[in-house]
Amino acid sequence: MTTTRSPRAPRPAARPNRQDAHRLALLESMLRVRRFEERCVQLYSAARIRGFMHLYIGEEAVAVGVNEALTDDDAVVSTYREHGHALARGVPAEAIMAEMFGKVTGCSRGRGGSMHLFDAGRRFYGGNAIVGGGLPLAAGLALADRMTGQGRVTCCFFGDGAFAEGEFHETANLAALWQLPLLLVCENNLYAMGTALARHQAQTDLALRAAAYGMVSWAVDGMDVFAVEDAARRAAEGVRAGTGPHFLEMRTYRFRAHSMYDSDRYRDKAEIEHWKERDPVEGLARRLRDAKELSDKARTTLEDRLAAEIDAAVEAAEQAPEEPVEDLLKYVTSPVEVTRP
């Protein structure tokens, strides 16, 4: 293992005064992602959800913490492991569930499935299943903002595996060169499918390497939602202030297999257990309980509310119609009438 030399995200001198309500809201957001995906597993086993499905369980603090730094005007570009990003962004559970059921009420009308969640209204630019494919696109969104003088941030999530693609390195250079308002969030969960970080990266300190492109770059404890939120806020401020792209290496871990097809034979059970001790969701719940901010009763109420929300999403997805087969060729080209010059 290489020694860590990359700069850590600066901690504010004094802990920001997170109100109780805010801490509880972070817990709720993370718990929503967790419970939603646990339900997805059941539905996948029951063959209600098909295709490839990648779970975010264990990584919830990243999506939820980063989202705190973004406004509704900002944009998000994601990967195929994006249920958490979409939920944190505010895409309704109902629209995501319906999408995975292949229903017309889904956020991509059933044409995308788990890997291709889109919500243009929320500036959620998807769901990309080509590793690294979202990065250049995110640079373009940021470029447009820069050219039109909008103070918006484009946030792009991608994995440690994507960090090996030319797409990442080309985008990093271009974004730094043009000082684009781009927040690059690398979810380093230590594996690219079955290949451990040290087997696919010559230098495993990703934040250090990103810094070489001339970007502000920090490594962050991705299992601690407060640390994620603080770093993301600082980085987003920097981006908004016009100091160019920022890179955050979120050190995290996925508790489940790469996808529902993966038998997860390449990881040590002890390693998984070790990381589970740092469960971001239960960790925060514990902290809140110890601080007397979350009673057992309040926890139960929260769980019940989320369960009801997810039940409703599943029920609505079950009832929703499919897109008629006659509409197969819709959306290949734009339906609007084009005026040719």
Ligand X SMILES: Cc1ncc(C[n+]2csc(CCOP(=O)(O)OP(=O)(O)O)c2C)c(N)n1
The reply on whether position 113 binds another protein by CB under 8 A is: yes
Closest to 160 in 3D by CA, of 252, 239, 225: 252
Which listed option, Mg ion, ligand X, another protein, none, makes contact with residue 89 (CB within 5 to 8 Å by class)? Answer: none
Q: Percent helix, strand and coil across the chain, each rounded to 5? A: 45, 10, 45
Q: Report the residue from 9, 93, 162, 225 that binds ligand X according to the rule CB under 6 A.
A: 162
Shortest CB 48 distance to another protein, Å = 11
Closest to 191 in 3D by CA, of 76, 273, 272, 86: 272
**CB nearer ligand X, residue 19 or residue 203:** 203
Closest to 217 in 3D by CA, of 267, 163, 265, 284: 163
HSE on the CB side for 251, CA within 13 Å? 16
Q: Report the residue from 110, 238, 245, 280 that binds another protein according to the rule CB under 8 A.
A: 110
User: Residues 18 to 57: which contact another protein by CB under 8 A?
Assistant: 50-52
The reply on whether position 161 binds another protein by CB under 8 A is: yes
Strands (E), the chain: 75-77, 154-159, 182-188, 191-192, 195-196, 216-221, 246-251
Q: Are 203 and 193 in contact (CB under 8 A)?
A: no
The reply on whether position 103 binds another protein by CB under 8 A is: yes
Q: Name, in order, each residue with C-beta under 8 angstroms of 20's C-beta and a sequence gap of 6 or more.
A: 293
Shortest CB 244 distance to ligand X, Å = 24
Q: Report the residue from 58, 65, 84, 102 that binds another protein according to the rule CB under 8 A.
A: 102
The reply on whether position 339 binds another protein by CB under 8 A is: no
**CB nearer ligand X, residue 132 or residue 238:** 132
Q: Report the residue from 24, 179, 243, 266 that binds another protein according to the rule CB under 8 A.
A: 266
Structural tokens at position 88:
């944190």
User: Residues 56 to 95: which contact another protein by CB under 8 A?
Assistant: none
Residues lying near another protein in the complex (CB under 8 A) are found at 50-52, 102-103, 108, 110-113, 115-116, 128-133, 161-162, 164-167, 192-195, 199-201, 266, 322-323, 325, 328-336
